[in-house]
Chains A and B, each alone.
Chain A
Amino acid sequence: MGVSVQTHDFDLGTEVASLRADDAGAIVSFTGMVRNSPDGTLVALELECYPSMATSALTDLENTAVERWSLTGCVIIHRFGRLRLGDQIMMVATAAPHRGDAFAAAEFLMDYLKCDAPFWKKEHTKSGSNWVENKSGDAERQQRWTAQKD
Chain B
Amino acid sequence: MKIDVLYFAWIRERVGKQGETVDTSATTVGELVAELVARNEAYALAFSDLAVVKAALDEVLVDLDTPLDNAREVAFFPPMTGG
Contacts and interface: CB of A to CB of B under 8 A. Distances in A.
A90 B80 CA distance: 14
Interface string B68-80: 0000000101111
Given A53-B59, A53-B75, A120 B8 contact: yes
A69 interface: no
A143 to B, nearest CB: 14
Interface stretch (A15-23, A93-101, A108-116): A108-116
Contacts of B80: 114-120, 134
B82 A119 contact: yes
Interface residues of A, number: 27
B83 A120 contact: no
B48 to A, nearest CB: 15
Interface in B21-70: 56, 59, 61
Contacts of A113: 82-83
Contacts of A57: 59
Given A90-B82, A114-B81, 4 more contacts: A50-B6, A50-B8, A50-B56, A119-B80
Interface of A: 32, 47-50, 52-53, 56-57, 78, 89-90, 110, 113-122, 131-134
Interface of B: 6, 8-10, 12, 56, 59, 61, 75, 77-83
